[in-house]
């Protein structure tokens, strides 16, 4: 769409009248929202939908006319979607993309000109030079939550308690905190007290996590302990995403739609792909928080940079080196297995791996085998079929992924061959884990720590083995083992183990 | 450089061809390229679908059953002489076309150019299947014209679409019932000409045939069509 101006007010138009312009080329004084008409009876549904967000017209279930009237009365603002940065390069105001390769131009039927758009966040609808982002400028809606109470009778381990206390203190200061909790420390419970505190101060809270599965798992869990409020899950395609909620559980991607929304943002698995590599997701997290807000990073495996930041005390952090059940973390053993790729091409698996499997078959011990490439999975499955009856393979694009994982949970499988997609978030009781080709670069330090963290998660089965079959030790393997041993040592010293 | 579909950085194979040809308009990584299934082998002589994936009982004289049905009626017989399609409409292409058409990623149109036959539209009047004005404004571009934009093939917008329900939300039966979804303009430009209709997807063939019939009745010599997906 194009705009023209009348008495310093922007007026949208679908045609191309003389002196009309696109929002990206509007002069700065025209982007100032008109003063608020207090008497104007604004639409509270629009307020609930738009507050704390920056959305496209096409994402709003309200007419363009209604938005325009709200703008003229000072309740909505038009913002540029695509802007130029200081070096005169394009920048996307929604996702923060500044990589010029991720912009493209086309002859646009809406503005009747060559129009540049952002390809980085295209899945949320196209944002181009003629696309305004709409924000709320009217009075803020706050849901009164000072009376709510946490409904949870569980108890925290000493490590969890310490982190929980630190988090409460940080919310008071409105700054940042890194919670470095080993796999199986019980991260969710640590957050309960802090979230309760924020809500009691009428703050708006968001937990952001990279994966939809986790959103779907966390939302009911939190709803259960905060029954007084409506916990809102937000992910691509979620139904209620237009509602306002004091506690939002969102995928990191959906944060692109938020702006200046939250007083407390908890970023789960901040080391995980894609957050760790996608700078625009980091931009999204910054944008979603209010100017004065608290940011909690939650991770089991901070990368080298963050470990260094902690060591140099550049960021406040707290570590939980012990698991909730207070048994030590299983430490990986290394097993050289020769050039396994070459062997596979000759239809052969490493003898050491076969031995590892044969030992476990009679005991009916569930096994998880990580491999670096989807390409090898079927062959490995075929080669193992003679010695093991029930086995499956699973990877990210597998349409039966859910069913297969469930089969493993139900103990209907003896062996599940997987890529790194199962490195996080899954618990199979009593499982033993092996990595074939642990030297592959896909197995980073954090991936290996996470994989090792699949073992011994249940109190009933706190042990289990984790073996890295490799063709040459890598730094990642050594660092991963070191990190796990260091956590165990720290836990012992702090008296957190049984 | 980045792959035009998955946006992952790719380093082009550095060889003589690369050195001596201009940087291509679009670069596809091997992964994405592998997921596009080019239609080859024996195809239906009318609609251009691959006959290899059909059971033989559905094929008669090199024509698939759907087309046999079309050709059996007096109304539709011979209206569309020949359709040619590039790719199998598999899940990957579905996803790609969704991002291109509905999310509006115009640049994806450039994916297809290197696969197009060299003589596409030669000695023919190329006519894209149009969008209604409402839909065009909503999307910002016509997906067919976007493809033609990158190929630089000249075309004539002589069809106008009358606004109606979204085609993709209708059943085959409903699609066939609606006759007057197009209006013809610039009638003189098509008389006694060979026409090539261009669309993104051939699903039932109804849209193309409705357009073809209108052109034929207005005096076009022959009508064939080309689509990206089948």
Residues of chain A with pLDDT > 90, as a percent, come to: 74
The mean per-residue pLDDT over the stretch A361-389 comes to: 91
pLDDT band of residue B174 (cuts 50, 70, 90) is low
Question: Which of chain A's residues have a Cβ under 8 Å away from the Cβ of B136?
Answer: 109
A125 touches chain B (CB under 8 A): yes
Give A407→chain B minimum CA distance, Å: 26
Q: Helix crossing, B143-151 with B91-101: angle to 10°?
A: 90
Q: What is the pLDDT of residue B15?
A: 63
Among chain A residues, the shortest Cα distance to B8 is held by A102
- Inter-chain touch B141–A104, beta carbons under 8 Å: no
A431, A408 contact by CB (below 8 A): no
pLDDT band of residue B57 (cuts 50, 70, 90) is confident
Give B201→chain A minimum CA distance, Å: 21
Higher pLDDT: A80 or A304? It is A80
The mean per-residue pLDDT over the stretch A420-431 comes to: 88
Question: Which of chain A's residues have a Cβ under 8 Å away from the Cβ of B99?
Answer: 122-123
Q: How many residues does chain B have?
A: 230
A390, A366 contact by CB (below 8 A): no
Number of Cβ within 10 Å of residue B23's Cβ equals: 9
Handedness of CA A381, A385, A387, A391 (dihedral sign): positive
Number of Cβ within 10 Å of residue B161's Cβ equals: 20
Rounded distance, CA A69 to CA A13, Å? Answer: 14
pLDDT tens-digit profile of A273-325?
A: 666 667 888 889 999 999 999 999 999 988 888 888 888 998 899 999 999 99
pLDDT tens-digit profile of A106-122?
A: 999 999 999 999 999 99
**pTM score, two decimals?**
0.85
Among chain A residues, the shortest Cα distance to B132 is held by A109
- The ipTM assigned to this model is 0.89
Q: Which of B12, B26, B106, B146 to mutate to test the interface with A (most CBs of A within 10 A)?
A: B106
E strand segments, B149-221: 159-161, 182-184, 194-201
Q: Which of A122, A277, A374 to mutate to test the interface with B (most CBs of B within 10 A)?
A: A122
pLDDT tens-digit profile of A82-102?
A: 999 889 999 999 999 999 999
CA-closest candidate to residue A84, choices A74, A76, A92: A92
- Inter-chain touch B7–A104, beta carbons under 8 Å: no
pLDDT band of residue B36 (cuts 50, 70, 90) is very high
Q: What is the pLDDT of residue B28?
A: 85
């Amino acid at each position: 769409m194009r705009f023209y101006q009348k008495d310093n007010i922007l007026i949208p138009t679908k045609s191309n009248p003389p002196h009309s312009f696109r929002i990206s080329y509007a002069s700065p004084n025209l982007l100032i929202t008109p003063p608020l008409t207090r008497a104007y009876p604004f639409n509270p549904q629009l307020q609930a939908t738009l507050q704390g967000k920056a959305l496209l017209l096409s994402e709003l279930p309200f007419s363009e006319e209604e938005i325009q009237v709200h703008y003229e009365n000072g309740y909505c603002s038009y913002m540029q979607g695509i802007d130029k940065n200081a070096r005169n390069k394009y920048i996307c105001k929604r996702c923060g993309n500044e990589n010029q390769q991720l912009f493209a131009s086309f002859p646009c039927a809406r503005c009747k000109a060559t129009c540049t758009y952002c390809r980085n966040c295209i899945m949320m609808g196209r944002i181009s030079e003629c696309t305004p982002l709409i924000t709320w400028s009217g009075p803020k809606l706050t849901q009164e939550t000072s009376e709510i109470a946490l409904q949870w009778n569980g108890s925290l381990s000493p490590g969890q308690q310490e982190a929980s206390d630190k988090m409460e203190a940080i919310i008071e200061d409105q700054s940042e905190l890194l919670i470095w909790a080993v796999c199986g420390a019980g991260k969710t419970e640590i957050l309960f007290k802090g979230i309760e505190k924020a809500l009691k101060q009428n703050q708006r809270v968001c937990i952001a996590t990279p994966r939809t599965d986790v959103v779907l798992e966390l939302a009911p869990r939190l709803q259960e302990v905060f029954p007084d409020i409506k916990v809102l899950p937000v992910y691509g395609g979620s139904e209620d995403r237009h509602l306002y909620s004091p506690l939002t559980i969102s995928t990191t991607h959906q944060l692109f739609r938020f702006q200046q929304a939250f007083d407390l943002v908890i970023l789960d698995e901040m080391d995980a792909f894609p957050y760790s590599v996608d700078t625009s997701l980091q931009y999204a997290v910054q944008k979603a928080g209010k100017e004065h807000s608290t940011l909690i990073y939650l991770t089991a495996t901070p990368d080298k940079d963050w470990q260094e930041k902690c060591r140099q005390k550049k960021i406040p952090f707290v570590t939980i080196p012990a698991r909730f059940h207070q048994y030590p973390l299983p430490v990986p053993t290394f097993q050289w297995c020769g050039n396994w790729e070459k062997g596979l091409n000759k239809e052969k698996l490493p003898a050491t791996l076969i031995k590892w499997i044969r030992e476990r078959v009679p005991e009916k011990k569930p096994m998880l085998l990580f491999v670096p490439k989807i390409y090898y999975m079927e062959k490995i499955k075929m080669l193992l079929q003679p010695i093991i009856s029930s086995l499956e393979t699973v990877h990210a694009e597998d349409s039966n992924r859910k069913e297969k994982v469930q089969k493993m949970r139900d103990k209907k499988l003896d062996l599940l061959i997987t890529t790194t997609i199962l490195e996080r978030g899954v618990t199979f009781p009593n499982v033993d884990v092996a990595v074939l080709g642990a030297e592959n670069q896909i197995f980073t330090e954090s991936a290996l720590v996470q994989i090792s963290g699949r073992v011994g998660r249940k109190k009933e089965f706190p042990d289990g083995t984790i073996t890295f079959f490799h063709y040459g030790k890598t730094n990642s393997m050594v660092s991963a083992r070191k990190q796990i041993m260091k956590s165990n040592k720290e836990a012992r010293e702090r008296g957190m183990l049984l | 450089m980045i792959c035009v579909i998955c946006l992952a950085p790719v380093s082009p194979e550095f060889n003589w061809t690369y050195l001596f040809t201009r940087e291509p308009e679009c670069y596809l990584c091997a992964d994405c390229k592998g997921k596009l299934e080019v239609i080859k082998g024996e195809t239906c002589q009318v609609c251009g679908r691959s006959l290899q994936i059909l059971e033989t009982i559905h094929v008669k004289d090199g024509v698939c059953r759907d087309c046999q049905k079309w050709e059996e009626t007096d109304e539709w017989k011979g209206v569309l002489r020949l359709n040619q399609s590039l790719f199998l409409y598999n899940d990957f292409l579905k996803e790609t076309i969704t991002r291109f058409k509905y999310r509006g990623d115009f640049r994806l149109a450039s994916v297809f150019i290197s696969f197009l036959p060299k003589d596409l539209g030669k000695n023919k009047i190329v006519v894209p299947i149009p969008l209604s004005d409402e839909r065009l404004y909503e999307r910002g571009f016509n997906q067919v014209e976007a493809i033609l934009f990158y190929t630089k093939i000249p075309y004539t917008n002589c069809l106008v679409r009358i606004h109606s329900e979204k085609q993709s939300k209708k059943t085959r039966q409903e699609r066939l019932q609606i006759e007057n979804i197009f209006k013809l303009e610039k009638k003189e430009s098509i008389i006694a000409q060979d026409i090539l209709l261009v669309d993104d997807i051939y699903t039932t063939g109804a849209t193309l045939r409705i357009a073809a019939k209108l052109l034929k009745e207005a005096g076009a010599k022959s009508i064939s069509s080309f689509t990206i997906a089948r």
